Amino acid sequence: MLGTYYYNQIIRKTIIAFGTIFNQIHIKHQDAADDVISDMRVPLAYGPMQKFLARIEQQPELNKPIQIRLPRMSFEMTSIQYDATRKSGVTQTFKASDGVNIKKVYMPVPYNIGFELNILCKLNDDALQIVEQILPYFQPAFTLTVDLIDSIGEKRDIPLNLDNVSFQDDYEGDFSTRRAIIYTLNFTAKTYLFGPIADSTDGLIRKVQVDYYSDTNTTTAKREMRYTVVPDPINAGPADDFGFSETLDFFQDSKSYSPTQQIDLW
């Protein structure tokens, strides 16, 4: 019920994963001989575009090096919306392990998280260098692998769609006004939100048994062979990787196995 505290940090992890994609973008400047005279990594920060425009206008000194203020990039989360196209059964559950205990997890709820990436530059060539390092990876989606819940090792591939690209050039003004070329890229991350993780009353499955029949008539057919698999050793935990012990038993007694009583019956 509402009021049970839990915090899986899924939205926070999705924001961090989005920003990580763009934190290693560089631009280079060359001289007339095509020799590289400067190579800088474009700063990236979380915040709205208006905030950085205000900071640019506060110091409009034309003699300051452009690397101090521009180019730079900013991004922010703009929306969260439920995605009915990826809906699954609300009562379906699956079991996971935290390495020691078995946990019962309800199926996650699909949500789309909107992001806006802003590229602010003084020179158009700088902006084009940045844009061309981003667009080819989105056709129109780029897949991120995010560890949504650390405790059970739940990792999911999150498609990141590029929805729209727009730009504006604020060139109007007097000579003391700093020019700002702004590219705006809108993205949608198709993530999943999990509810609270509960302890499961079910134990670990330590034995799997299958009986084979020689006839497709399940009413009159009797077993012919039994295939049994158990972990080796039998007390192996979920995180262990020791292997399995397989056994084949052949029968001619015409008995049937009762899963409820767990015994052979005539």
Torsion angles phi and psi, residue 122, rounded to 5: -95, -35
Give yes or no for a contact between 222 and 208, defined as CB atoms under 8 angstroms apart.
no
Question: What is the per-residue pLDDT for 62?
Answer: 46
pLDDT digits (tens, 9 = 90+) for 128-147: 999 999 999 998 899 989 98
pLDDT digits (tens, 9 = 90+) for 52-101: 666 655 555 544 544 446 788 999 999 999 999 988 776 666 666 666 66
Residues of the chain with pLDDT under 50: 62-63, 65-68
Question: What is the per-residue pLDDT for 81?
Answer: 95
pLDDT, the chain, mean:
79
Q: What is the pTM of this model?
A: 0.67
Q: What DSSP character marks residue 150?
A: G
Residue 71: helix, strand or coil by DSSP? Answer: coil
Which homologous superfamily does the CATH classification assign to the domain defined by 10-199?
Answer: Myoviridae tail sheath stabiliser (3.30.2000.40)
- Tokens representing residue 114 in the block: 């909107």
Work out the end-to-end distance of the chain between its first and last CA atoms, rounded to an integer number of angstroms.
48
Q: Which residues pair with 97 in a beta bridge?
A: 102
Q: Per-residue b/e over 100-118, b at no fewer than 16 CB within 10 Å?
A: eebbebbbbbbbbbebbbb
Question: What is the per-residue pLDDT for 236?
Answer: 72
Question: What is the per-residue pLDDT for 171?
Answer: 62
Question: What is the per-residue pLDDT for 59?
Answer: 55
Taking the domains of the chain in order of start, what are their residue ranges?
Answer: 10-199, 208-265
